[in-house]
Amino acid sequence: MCQRYWLPLYAFARRRVADRHEAQDLTQEFFARLLEKKLLASASPERGRFRGFLLTALKNFLANEWNRTQARKRGGRREHLSLDWEAGESRLHLEPAHDLTPERLFERQWTLTLLEHVVTRLQAEFESAGKQRQFEVLKGTLTGERSETAYAGLAAELAMTEDAVRQAAHRLKKRYRELLRDEVSQTVLEPGDLDDEIRELFETLRS
């Protein structure tokens, strides 16, 4: 959970805290507290969806930390997670500097992180089936419809008929949607919230 969702939470802390190293320390400490105090056990349908639960927990944590007056040493005695801060910083630099609130930035990064994990799972399935090349060529079809000319080019690249390529692309999209629903279902506390959550996640990418 920490490895998967650290970036959206760090994005929120990074937008709220000027110093990147302090934001990193706070993110590490938040996960340590989350696991140490077993706060995840308190997640319940009454508290809303999982991303909302985590964001509220982070806001409360930051408010408590900022009320402390004692200095904080980097490193400390906590066992730190191995997180790729530089990659995270590079990705956050692509976001607008002032147009997004910390909350909106969190939501966008949550969605992008989840979608990346879905694609990673999908790629792993194709690789296991010995279809890595097919995945690399067809993964672009996940982002929208392709023209007849585009399918002709893909067919030539894969040495397949155009009809076979269309069918393969259709199966790819179908499996992508299945994996997406599986991933999102793990972050909602009520099955009935699944479709609404997916809709809301994609709305974060349009804003």
Domain boundaries, the chain: 1-94, 103-207
The H or E element containing residue 59 is: helix 50-66
Tokens representing 68 are 């402390």
Instruction: Please determine, for residue 92, whether its predicted confidence score (pLDDT) is greater than 90.
Output: no
* Residues 176-198 as b or e (16 or more Cβ within 10 Å = b): beebbeebbeebbeeeebeeebb
Give the range among 90-94, 122-126, 174-178 with minimum mean pLDDT: 90-94
More confident site: 117 or 80: 117
Q: Which of 173, 126, 123 shows the shortest CA–CA distance to 146? A: 173
25 CB burial (10 A radius; 0-12, 13-18, 19+): buried
Model pLDDT, residue 80: 56
> What is 151-199 written as a DSSP string?
HHHHHHHHT--HHHHHHHHHHHHHHHHHHHHHHHHTT-SSGGGHHHHHH
Tell me what pLDDT residue 17 has.
85
Query: Which residue do the tokens 């690789």 mark?
Result: 127
Residue 182 pLDDT > 90 = yes
pLDDT (mean) for 189-198: 89
pLDDT value of position 82:
62
Contacts of 49 by beta carbon, 8 Å cutoff, 6+ apart: 187, 188, 189, 193, 197
Please state, for a pLDDT cut of 90, what percent of the chain lies above it: 43
Render pLDDT for 136-166 as a digit per residue (tens, 0 to 9).
999 999 987 677 778 899 999 999 999 999 9
Helices and strands in the chain: count of H runs, count of E runs: 9, 0
